[in-house]
Amino acid sequence: MDVTSLQRRRALIEAARDALAAPSIFNTQPWTWRSADDWLQLWADRSRQLRATDFAGRQLTVSCGAALHHARVALAAAGHQVQVDRIPDPGSPGLLARIAITGAHVPTDEEVALCRAIGDRHTDRRAFTAEAVASRVLSELVAAAERQAAHLYPVPTEQVKVLGAAAAHAEAVHQADPGYRDELMTWTNRPAESGDGVPATTAVTPTARAVPVRDFTLFGRGHSAGLEHDVGARFAMIFTYGDDVVDWLRAGEALSAVLLAATVAQLGCAPISDVIEVRATREQLGRLLRGGGHPQAVVRVGHPPAGGSAITARRAPSEVINP
């Protein structure tokens, strides 16, 4: 191997390390990275799939898409031009994508800011304040999703009621499913050394808010959602026109792009996916999209209360990269 390809391999591994911070369903981090020749491969880790909550593996793939976007952002900010192939080998369905460095790239200010946001972004389940999200920022989030070949539909105020009812219904459907309750129990009670799962420090107790957040507060764990009520929060739906694995991956890349752009704009943010996991509520949300399309994720953005949100752990790089 010549020096240049060794340097490229190192840069790709560095990007995989940065991508450890990507959000994922129940913080399962359901991916592995492998370097092979000049490529960095992204593999789905099916052993981490939530079989009851996410039977089709959509949330797993969306999570992997978020990791892929994090790696792409890190490489762009580090001055690399890349080629990305999605589902490069139909004979290996677990191989979701591969990345190669193809040349040098002058990073834009925006790329540098997005890369910095990787370390600053956290899912904030507290209720956001009454301060409105500027429409200019909302337009930037829409553009961020479009650049990932997916779309973002800001839910208009008059439809938030529908979203809120859908989230309440999805929660009830989930809670009636012993398989879901088992998975919730497992992934909210992970040993500290695992570096995965949703810790009690990030869970909030249910309060009056337009769209309820997923209840991670088993047996009294979690803390208060704060004194605010999401009055100024905006909800937006990531959607795609197709609904296959590449669409799910693209939706995950768009989810990451929207969350990082919101972080750059100093907004708090949180994904919401229970309404997507339950078929009836996903179909209900699909009907809000007048031009058609498949809902893939919902995000809540807004001005967070003071104090900052709690941080969620990650797995060790050696478990995820070339394991």
Contacts with ligand FMN by CB under 6 A lie at 23-27, 59, 62-63, 66, 122-123, 125, 198, 213-214, 270-274, 297, 312
- Which residue is nearest to ligand FMN, using beta carbons? 23
CA proximity to 97, closest of 241, 239, 249: 249
Q: How far is the CB of 117 from ligand FMN (least distance, A)?
A: 12
- Of 35 and 312, nearer to ligand FMN (C-beta) is 312
Q: How far is the CB of 51 from ligand FMN (least distance, A)?
A: 16
Q: How far is the CB of 100 from ligand FMN (least distance, A)?
A: 25
* Spatial distance between the Cα atoms of 310 and 253, rounded to a whole number of angstroms: 24
- Of 9 and 122, nearer to ligand FMN (C-beta) is 122
Q: What's the length of the chain?
A: 323
* Spatial distance between the Cα atoms of 18 and 12, rounded to a whole number of angstroms: 10
Q: How far is the CB of 305 from ligand FMN (least distance, A)?
A: 16
**95-104/80-86 β-pairing:** antiparallel
Strand runs labelled E in 129-287: 151-154, 234-240, 268-272
Q: How far is the CB of 123 from ligand FMN (least distance, A)?
A: 4
- Of 12 and 117, nearer to ligand FMN (C-beta) is 117
> Is 293 in contact with 185 (CB distance < 8 Å)?
no
- Of 101 and 213, nearer to ligand FMN (C-beta) is 213
Q: How far is the CB of 135 from ligand FMN (least distance, A)?
A: 25
Q: How far is the CB of 3 from ligand FMN (least distance, A)?
A: 35
List, in order, residues 6 or more apart from 136 with CB less than 8 Å away.
none
CA proximity to 263, closest of 151, 117, 142: 117
20: its two tokens: 């450890």
141: its two tokens: 């989030």
- Of 75 and 269, nearer to ligand FMN (C-beta) is 269
Give the count of beta carbons closer than 10 Å to the beta carbon of residue 28.
25
Q: How far is the CB of 7 from ligand FMN (least distance, A)?
A: 29
* Spatial distance between the Cα atoms of 132 and 298, rounded to a whole number of angstroms: 18
* Spatial distance between the Cα atoms of 61 and 250, rounded to a whole number of angstroms: 9
* Spatial distance between the Cα atoms of 2 and 194, rounded to a whole number of angstroms: 37
**31-36/39-44 β-pairing:** antiparallel
- Of 66 and 237, nearer to ligand FMN (C-beta) is 66
* Spatial distance between the Cα atoms of 235 and 160, rounded to a whole number of angstroms: 8
- Of 76 and 213, nearer to ligand FMN (C-beta) is 213
- Of 125 and 282, nearer to ligand FMN (C-beta) is 125
